[in-house]
Amino acid sequence: MNSRYQTIVHPLPPFYRPDSRILILGSFPSIKTRETGFFYGHPQNRFWPILANLFEDEIPQTIEQRKDFLQRHLIAAWDTIYQCDIIGSSDSSIRNVVPTDLKPILDQSSIIRIFTNGGTSDKYYKQYQEKLLGIKAIKLPSSSPANAGYSLERLIEKWKIILNFLYMY
């Protein structure tokens, strides 16, 4: 194995509440996210600006503000990969994947729709979780700074679809 690879177990618990309506799945936390201790911790990741724009809300800065934001907007967050071998934060280097068990979140919340944040998350969701859960995910373009082909405005336009599922009862 390439000595730059590290085997890492997902360091974060899932974020959800019983009233969470949608689940947004990333692939695996970046080095920066692992350091900060909460989802989408890299300052250049556009996850928080996208959601703040969609909900006409302030961009949450602290972990507590981010948790409060997700809670208020009925959003759950986790990743499709529980453990993998990875070089740094590079999704393209991921191998030896152990998928996340998403069943507990679905059993303990009100999730009606799953979204994957980017191609890697979508690939592993389809490979490991979709058949098991019987739920098709909607693929969103990645909010990662590595997805330079998408401007913030284009991302916001594509991500607007989540609003269709939040307030259906």
Q: pLDDT, tens digit, for every residue of 35-47?
A: 999 999 999 999 9
Residue 164, pLDDT > 70, answer: yes
Superfamily grouping for domain 6-166: Uracil-DNA glycosylase-like domain (3.40.470.10)
Helix (H, G, I), strand (E, B) or coil at 89: coil
Confidence of residue 166 (pLDDT cuts 50, 70, 90): confident
Class of residue 169 by CB neighbours under 10 A (exposed 0-12, middle 13-18, buried 19+): exposed
Residue 52, pLDDT > 80, answer: yes
Residue 112, pLDDT > 60, answer: yes
The pLDDT score that the predictor gives to residue 1 is 54
Helix (H, G, I), strand (E, B) or coil at 24: strand
Residue 127, pLDDT > 80, answer: yes
Each residue of 61-96: pLDDT tens digit?
A: 999 999 999 999 999 999 999 999 999 988 899 999
The pLDDT score that the predictor gives to residue 2 is 65
Residue 168, pLDDT > 60, answer: no
Domain ranges of the chain: 6-166
The pLDDT score that the predictor gives to residue 3 is 76
- Asked if 135 contacts 116 with a C-beta cutoff of 8 angstroms, the reply is no
The pLDDT score that the predictor gives to residue 77 is 98
